[in-house]
Chain A
């Protein structure tokens, strides 16, 4: 049987707004992906260690707290340290265009803005995330 793409949906930091993360987790699962949802209040270390342990192909971070530059940066740095840069990093949240550009620079592949439809997220994942 062909290996299914595995995605870790995570809520880093102290932000408790999980409506979007839960929705995206469920939408990706409904689209046929294997989804692991970390739950709330995860440190970057916890997220990267879960990603490696679960052998995921991508990590999606949902951040609505304004701490996105720090948290994406930290996760990316830890992935590098673990030589796990082949894990695709994407996300969404309350993030300004200026910061989206900043995040692209550090290697975050895609940021979905508020109101992004599932269809857009699923088709992006289909195109950009493959099994390793």
Chain B
């Protein structure tokens, strides 16, 4: 079939051929710079993967801390180089396993964490001064970080040696991901508290992983992913500066997290544009002096939403293309999805194939031998410029609205994403866009694949773990530390210190979030469709 229009997955028009004229008034030093040099379009290091491969970091967690700890040891044994914790929904929302709201959800989508005791089990036998850990947690990020720090302390690892990341990107929760603990304004305050604390006490910790991943998964275009994410980043920097922090003291610890979708070149252009925009924003808007404040480091995850339940083995191929895009775009770390994730959490076998995909790219394909191999391509440079222009237009629009919090309050990013998602789905249904195995090349009957099941016995075991902790802890101490937390939340004291005391006393996650909610209030989504 001959097509009339050639567009990317995000409906961007693509020309038949790109030549020198497509690059406009291209200036190598100004627009690209050498790798490791402003504006970092070609990459953030002078050596990139010749110095070291990206960190292979598979997001993982299920059941109780006991089971997830075993999975972590399995992954480290198979050559994974960093940990990435997936929490279950009750944990993400700040509920305990013994609450009615948690019923049916315990350990299903990630590991259940109620108290410090669970975190001690989760990292048992894992050296926290050698392995870095990324934790996908947002509303209650400050609490989970407090738990991690106390575990490190008990293992004899001092806080200045602890390295890792908490997602802690509350803004994108209101835009797309929808797991929040408090309303937007107090959520921002807690984020700034945590950045302030880490700047002083946990210097190697990445304080916010500013995330476009979920925005894209919710249905945005590539340019929207870039624009909304960078606008969120700007909001965090502004909030910290407003608190009185020096930009160069905290900005080097901010990192980003992007999606790797199917449209190969558009994705590569997105990462390159992201680095260039951020370098300019930090230099010109925030007057950062430290070069490390200017560089945009990012994690990538392949697009979960691109995987199909139909003919699931095809997902290995999709993930490979996406992962290759992330690598050619210069990612610092990568998660590759498993082929069975449209059906359930992945089995060990499926996770191993996903990890092997990265190892094959790193060790067999040869793409790591040179830096930014697509730099200078007429097409890729033109696309990078377009991506930059579109993202800047979104940022400008949000600036004009008075910032991302105002934009969220009127539902601007939410509506834009819902619109883009609807348009894309329509394109699939009209077969304007082809998804192999879904709207073309279908088969009558699929072979069933092996599935990981999380039984209800997990919930019972977790509730029992929690009961034991509640029985053996010093109830008076818990009450005391929670009271101090409430006091800090109601005044302008930093909540991190009091949270660490609550954690040490084995206060539960929900006792801490409830205490803060009693001051901060709750949030309900506007249910726009």
Contact = CB atoms under 8 A, between A and B. Distances in A.
Contacts of A15: 89, 105, 109
A113 B309 contact: yes
A66 B101 contact: no
A25 B529 contact: yes
Interface string A68-106: 011100100000000000000000001011100000000
Contacts of B524: 39
B217 A14 contact: no
Contacts of B101: 14, 43
A41 B218 CA distance: 17
Nearest to B527: A39
Contacts of B425: 23, 118
A38 B527 contact: yes
A72 to B, nearest CB: 10
Contact of A14 (B105, B342, B421): B105
B218 to A, nearest CB: 5
Contacts of A118: 425, 429
A18 B527 CA distance: 9
A13 B104 contact: yes
A70 B219 CA distance: 28
Contacts of A18: 178, 218, 525
Nearest to A69: B104
Contacts of A19: 217-219, 305, 421
How many residues of A sit at the interface, in one of the four size bands? Answer: 35 or more
A33 interface: no
B125 interface: no
Contact of A66 (B102, B418, B454, B527): B454
Interface residues of B, number: 46
A46 B30 CA distance: 57
B310 A115 contact: yes
B466 interface: no
Most B CB contacts (10 A, CB to CB) among A18, A98, A117 go to A18
B90 interface: yes
A132 to B, nearest CB: 24
B105 A66 contact: yes
Given A14-B101, A70-B104, A114-B342, A22 B308 contact: no
A41 to B, nearest CB: 8
B343 A66 contact: no
Nearest to A97: B448
B89 A14 contact: yes
Interface in A11-47: 13-19, 21-23, 25-26, 37-41, 43
A119 interface: yes
Interface string B181-225: 000000000000000000000000000000000000111000000
A128 B219 CA distance: 29
Nearest to B310: A115
Nearest to B448: A97
A11 to B, nearest CB: 9
Contacts of B454: 66
B89 A70 contact: no
B318 to A, nearest CB: 13
B24 interface: no
A65 interface: yes
Interface in B409-450: 418, 421-422, 425, 428-429, 435, 438-439, 448
The 4 closest A-B pairs by CB, nearest first: A70-B104, A16-B178, A39-B527, A66-B108
Given A65-B105, A114-B308, 8 more contacts: A13-B104, A13-B105, A14-B92, A22-B529, A41-B178, A67-B105, A96-B343, A115-B310
